[in-house]
Amino acid sequence: MEILFLGTAASEGFPNPFCSCENCQKAREKGKKSIRLRSSILIDEKLLIDFGPDLVASANRFGKDLSQVEHILITHGHSDHLFFKNFEYRNPIFSGNYEDLPHVDLIVPDKLGSVIKEKTELPKFSLMSVSPFVTIHLNGYVIYTLKANHTSGFGETPLNYLIEKDKEKILYAVDTGCILPETFNFIKDNLNGKKLNVVILDATMGFNKKYEFHMGYEEILQTKKDLYDEGIIDNNTKIVVTHFSHLHNPSHSELEKIYQKHNIITAFDGMKI
């Protein structure tokens, strides 16, 4: 599987356009990898995780045509991960090749499905409202829904995802605090003794504040250790951190220096794995 990071920032972007803190100022000065749009990833040009307000900017920034996306997974209803107007851009009013667009499988957490149906039309979408700990088969992908340790936008149960294709396995644990015990056990049970190839973790809180529903530096190191001790990862597993808040994280080059010491990859917008 090929993973493209379309965005790697937390809710307000990095830098926040209305902030002149030291981290935002340094990001503006350094530019390039220190400039981050809101979080989203694209897998194999076919599978998109999260559907936030920077999707148009991200796709144009990296020259991506998203008309062939076939599966969209939503983690939760917070506005940086779900922007309702995006659905309209696939409609005949806006899309010049609407007739050629594929049908999209839209996977969302439980109560979020009814909210989406109330707020927008969904032509050429198959909406699936799902609970944690179910398995979905989609054109060669196996999707395991995981319970995230996070807050909701519309009373839904926030989700993370374990994605499998051609014996490769990716854990997407973003917008979550420390992995819940029941989620940890579900991951282990469904690996059948095999290892994760890639683990993508939430790094929102960085270095100077604790918050139950996001991870920071210390939680990331502990999570990596726990995954290793339980045999879920090994030394060949790529550990990646993303979803950075400017309030708690320095510029990209500084983050790289810190995380490289622990063999952890610091994601940036446009990074491919």
Query: Are 69 and 82 spatial neighbours (Cβ–Cβ below 8 Å)?
Result: no
CATH number of the domain encompassing residue 44: 3.60.15.10
Say if 25 falls within a structural domain.
yes
CA torsion sign for 116, 121, 125, 126 is positive
Say if 36 falls within a structural domain.
yes
Say if 87 falls within a structural domain.
yes
Report residue 143 as tokens: 């999707």
Return the pLDDT at 208: 85
Average pLDDT for consecutive 10-residue bins of the chain (273 residues)? 98 98 97 98 98 98 96 98 96 93 97 96 95 97 98 97 97 98 97 96 95 97 97 97 98 98 98 98
Return the pLDDT at 82: 98
Cα angle: 133, vertex 4, 156; to 5 degrees: 30
Spell out the residues 6+ positions from residue 63 whose beta carbon is closer than 8 angstroms to its own.
none
Which range marks the domain in which residue 40 is found? 3-266
For 136-159, write each residue's pLDDT tens digit.
999 999 999 999 999 999 999 999
Q: Are strands 168-173 and 159-165 parallel, antiparallel or unpaired?
A: antiparallel
Return the pLDDT at 110: 97
Cα–Cα distances in Å, from 235 out to 27, 122, 208, 231? 32, 43, 28, 11
Say if 220 falls within a structural domain.
yes
Say if 273 falls within a structural domain.
no
Query: Are 157 and 143 spatial neighbours (Cβ–Cβ below 8 Å)?
Result: no
**% residues pLDDT > 90 (the chain):** 99
Say if 168 falls within a structural domain.
yes
What is the rounded distance in angstroms from the CA atom of residue 152 to the CA atom of residue 146?
15
Instruction: State the pTM of this model.
Output: 0.97
Return the pLDDT at 253: 97
